[in-house]
Structure 1
Amino acid sequence: MASMMDAELKEMTQEERATALGMTTEQLNGRTMLIEFNEDEAERFTYPWAPDVDFNKRTELDTDNLTATQVNTRIRELMSEGYGSIVIQNPRGKHALGVGILNKLNLIVDGSLGYFGVGLIDGPTVRINGRVGWSCGENMMSGIIVIEKNAGSTFGAAIRGGDLVCKGSVGSRTGIDMKGGTIIVGGDTGAFSGFMMQRGRMVVCGNAGKNLGDSMYDGTIYVGGKIQSLGVDAVPAALTDLDKAWLTRKLTQYELMPEKGVDHFTKIVAGKQLWNYDNLEPAEKKLIL
């Protein structure tokens, strides 16, 4: 009997399977996430203890013989001295450089970073002239990060705000647990990108690996190339004029605008069938997945 039910479920569409298992397509409406603010209230945009820096005051920091802790400490010291533009020289792939910067800053990395580069930041503008390892920009709150070459896996994990841009290709699980902000990839992305995505927008100018948007709760993914496969509850949607205008503006801003424009992009959103996932019994969960 169970095998017959399994066979019937496999022949159904995702919506038919969800209905057969007692799930509903009703869209849940919670409290709005919209934040209203007065742009004149500067205290909402800076931390009360944040140093006042001058972007025209520039210095260089040679990190060749320094540990990651020493580098990060020195960055904070330079900001307290008023330096608003800092150039990191000889990073040599060190891990966890530039993390936890909660201040306005123009940070330039002349080279490549290792794992967990410039994570947990809130405010700085970062340009990395080389490559980055896993989890670059993890838990980024606001600001801009631009990587000129390639990036490793879990690029922008749990990002909450700002723009995270890689002009090359990235590894798997890009934007895993993404909670806001924008991730832009100039090349390809690996498998399970957008996994458990909750909010925000992801743009992939090249191809996307298998299980794109798997178990995504909300948010939007745009892909300019081929998609190997969609994950659970990720579905195509119509590309609107508003989508095209936003894509054009963002990609032009970071010099990643394709010659053929943005009309060819595929838009992926959440089917929202898993919004009622917790109501299923364990055996039913196994069947739906």
Structure 2
Amino acid sequence: MAGVSDIELKAMTQEERVKALGMTTEQLTGKSMHIEFDPEATERFEYPWAPVVDFNKRTEVDCDGLTPQEVNSKIRDLMAEGYGTVVLQNPRGMHSIGVGILSKLNLIIEGSTGYFSAGLIDGPNVRITGRVGWSCAENMMAGTVLIEKNAGSTFGAAIRGGDLVCHGSVGSRTGIDQKGGTILVGGDTGALTGFMMQRGRMVICGNAGKNLGDSMYDGTIYIGGEIRSLGVDAVEAEVTSLDKEWLTRKLTQYGLMPEKGVDHFKKIVAGKQLWNYDNLEPNEKKLIL
């Protein structure tokens, strides 16, 4: 797709653009899947029991003296009362808050949090004004999570959808086992970022540590800085016009666009030499590893 003109881009169907960006769909033949939503529905892609909230109805919760369980219970109770914007004050590094929210909500956390913040969510928009510990937004399904400062290790572990954004730098194993969605980092990332990545896209505006994309199965990683080293089966690919268009739109959306634009970004994908790993002879496995 290198050198695709604007006219050709406009002529492409949505399916063609998706395939050109590497966002293909795998048919899981023989797999069973519990269907939560009707794919033919035209509106209200929400859980049937999700509370109806008003984003203009706002309230604050002082976390001082409360346990994480009490804070999370208060959030659920307020949503049941129709509050669509909840502000958590004085979190003071509290662990596991803002978790398990499975419907629409504006959640603002004023301060820093500990590990597993905003994990297991499906739909809310979360903004944390401070730092976060490891495994922020773990198993996120949909929505947005924005961190204004730095984040710990395993940032976005096993996320499946939504946008996870950190304006600062993050620790090691960012996006480990990522299965979808988008992770954006304004600063640097640590070692083994993208380890065992399966789907989705990741954008690192700064530098990456050792073993970037190690054992990644699929997905795409964009790096704006230097790469300490690539991991097993991670290879550099050509950055296409579609890639640059998407990067420009996404980075601008979250205020992360570098002054020099996106032309300097590198694109890392899976070499796919491990796809049939179990069928290789022992001597072939040694060559790969």
TM bracket, shorter-chain basis: 0.7 to 0.9
Partner of 1:31 in structure 2? 27
SS in 2 for 1:64: coil
Amino acid at match of 1:72: N
- Runs of 5+ in structure 1 lacking a partner? 1-28
1:89-168 aligned at under 5 Å gives the runs 89-168=89-168
* CA deviation vs aligned residue, 1:46-97 (integer Å, no higher than 9, x gap): 1111100000000000011100000001100000000000000000001000
* CA deviation vs aligned residue, 1:114-158 (integer Å, no higher than 9, x gap): 000000000000000000000000000000000000000000000
SS in 2 for 1:275: coil
Q: Sequence identity, in percent?
A: 77
Distance in 1 of aligned mates of 2:75 and 2:176: 29
Cα shift at 1:41: 3.2
Partner of 2:185 in structure 1? 185
Partner of 1:26 in structure 2? none
Larger Rg: 1
Partner of 1:41 in structure 2? 43
- Runs of 5+ in structure 2 lacking a partner? 1-24, 30-36
Amino acid at match of 1:41: E
1:179-218 aligned at under 5 Å gives the runs 179-218=179-218
Aligned residues of 2:232 and 2:288 also touching (Cα < 8 A): no
Distance in 1 of aligned mates of 2:268 and 2:39: 30
SS in 1 for 2:181: strand
Amino acid at match of 1:251: L
CA-based RMSD: 1.9
Distance in 2 of aligned mates of 1:233 and 1:265: 20
* TM-score normalised by structure 1 residue count: 0.86
Distance in 2 of aligned mates of 1:163 and 1:39: 23
Partner of 2:22 in structure 1? none
Distance in 1 of aligned mates of 2:237 and 2:87: 43
How many aligned positions are there? 259
SS in 2 for 1:58: strand
